[in-house]
């Protein structure tokens, strides 16, 4: 009897130790092992040419010794039992059972560790995270985040940015989604929130919330307009974001891959706010229709192209930031910029 005491103690103690260390339920491990035993038994039986579709099976495990047995009984076409339960454990099944148990426990450990990692990352959704470009899946980018991998889909990339393997970058941890292979960490560099978080990193007043970024209008890789306001007396929102000699906004531009950033003082006066979004253009007059959310802005002839911007970009971003459909007029020339949603 003493010879058998060692293995019994080893199995039960090892199982409890693994469960406690990894935060797993012993019964969950045992049930998973039982299911794996049945699957292994059926696989081997089919290889021997036995019919396993007319019977049902279950595995029994001695929680002390780890000894496994397979029981089977006949079933009808609807799966109802038609015979007595019998011990159908094949000779040598102990070796198969040991290998299967080892695989199942390792799998459960990996799943538990991955769950802990995902719990950690779920608390960081909406924040910046650093990572290294691993490889490309088509236009999607796989990123090494240290403990796990993340994915930056094509639509979350900055279109003008060229990436290389081993390149280290900052990303916005946009979301954690359920995928076919478990949870997927979605990263972004094209999101408006990415711009906000970069400003919070580079501008202490934004991080402390004495300056608030009210809105962002962005064409990733090309140009961004942000509206900023002060929540504290004596703090200049534009000056804070620009920094001494432009050092802060330049740091943001560098992180965005050279993207131009315009910082606009927010105003609850619609006319003043629209004028600010078109700066440095001098506005001669504005006609605003609050109900239709439209604004007709009249500028000097020589400032028409500046107000509209290359391919309508300036007036388009101004429209997105203000929420108004802006038309630029000068004499007989009219340019329209619908708000993109």
For residue range 5-52, list pLDDT tens digits in order: 444 456 677 778 877 776 677 787 788 888 888 888 888 888 888 888
φ, ψ of residue 184 to 5 degrees: the values are -125, 125
Q: Which residue has the tokens 């029994």?
A: 60
pTM, to two decimals: 0.67
Compute the half-sphere exposure of residue 257: CA atoms within 13 Å on the CB side of its CA: 18
Whole-number Cα distances in Å, 240 to 131, 265, 269, 306: 28, 11, 22, 26
Q: What is the pLDDT of residues 64-78, one digit of tens each?
A: 777 888 999 998 888
Alpha carbons 195 and 325: distance in angstroms, whole number:
24
Domain 277-341: homologous superfamily in CATH: K homology (KH) domain (3.30.300.20)
- Looking at residues 189-215, what average pLDDT do you find? 96
Using pLDDT thresholds of 50, 70 and 90, give the confidence band for residue 176.
confident
- Give the pLDDT score at 243: 93
Q: What is the pLDDT of residues 266-290, one digit of tens each?
A: 999 999 999 999 988 888 999 999 9
Using pLDDT thresholds of 50, 70 and 90, give the confidence band for residue 153.
very high
- Give the pLDDT score at 9: 53
- Looking at residues 213-236, what average pLDDT do you find? 94
Share of residues in the chain with pLDDT > 90 (%): 51
Q: Are both 2-122 and 277-341 of the same fold?
A: no
Using pLDDT thresholds of 50, 70 and 90, give the confidence band for residue 110.
low
- Give the pLDDT score at 331: 57
Instruction: Answer whether residue 113 shows pLDDT above 80.
Output: no
| Domain residue ranges in the chain | 2-122, 128-188, 191-266, 277-341
Mean pLDDT of the chain: 85
Rounded (5°) CA angle 121-180-128: 25
CATH code for the domain defined by 191-266: 3.30.300.20
Q: Name the CATH architecture for the domain at 2-122.
A: 2-Layer Sandwich (3.30)
Cα dihedral: 316, 317, 320, 324 (round 10) = -60
- Give the pLDDT score at 3: 40
Instruction: Answer whether residue 93 shows pLDDT above 90.
Output: no
CATH code for the domain defined by 128-188: 2.40.50.140
CB atoms within 10 A of CB 133: 17
Q: What is the pLDDT of residues 45-60, one digit of tens each?
A: 888 888 888 889 998 8
φ, ψ of residue 116 to 5 degrees: the values are -65, -45
CA 192 to mean position of chain CA atoms: 15
């Amino acid at each position: 009897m003493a010879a058998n005491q060692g293995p019994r103690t080893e199995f039960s103690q090892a199982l409890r130790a693994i469960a406690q260390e990894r935060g797993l339920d012993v019964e969950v491990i045992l049930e998973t092992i039982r299911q794996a035993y049945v699957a292994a038994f059926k696989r081997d039986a089919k290889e021997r040419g036995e019919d396993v579709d007319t019977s049902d099976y279950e595995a029994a495990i001695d929680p002390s010794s780890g000894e496994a047995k397979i029981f089977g009984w006949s079933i009808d076409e609807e799966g109802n039992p038609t015979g007595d339960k019998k011990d159908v454990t094949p000779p040598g099944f102990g070796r198969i059972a040991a290998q299967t148990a080892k695989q199942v426990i390792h799998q459960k450990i990996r799943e538990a560790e991955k769950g802990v990692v995902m719990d950690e990352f779920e608390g960081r959704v909406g924040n910046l995270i650093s990572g290294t470009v691993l490889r490309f899946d088509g236009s999607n980018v796989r990123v090494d985040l240290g403990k796990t991998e993340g994915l930056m889909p094509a639509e979350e990339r900055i279109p003008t940015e060229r990436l290389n393997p081993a390149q280290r970058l900052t990303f916005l941890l946009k979301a954690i989604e359920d995928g076919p292979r478990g949870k997927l960490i979605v990263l972004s560099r094209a999101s408006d929130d990415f711009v906000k978080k970069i400003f919070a990193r580079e501008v202490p007043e934004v991080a402390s919330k004495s300056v608030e970024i009210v809105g962002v209008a962005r064409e990733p890789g090309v140009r961004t307009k942000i509206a900023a306001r002060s929540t504290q007396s004596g703090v200049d929102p534009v000056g804070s974001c620009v920094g001494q000699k432009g050092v802060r906004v330049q740091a943001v531009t560098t992180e965005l891959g050279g993207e131009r950033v315009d910082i606009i003082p927010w105003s609850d006066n619609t006319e003043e706010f629209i004028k600010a979004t078109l700066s440095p253009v001098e506005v001669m007059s504005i006609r605003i229709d609050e109900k239709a959310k439209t604004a007709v802005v009249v500028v000097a002839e020589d400032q028409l192209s500046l107000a509209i911007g290359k391919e309508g970009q300036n007036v388009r971003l101004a429209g997105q930031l203000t929420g108004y459909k802006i038309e630029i007029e000068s004499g007989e020339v009219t340019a329209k910029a619908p708000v993109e949603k």
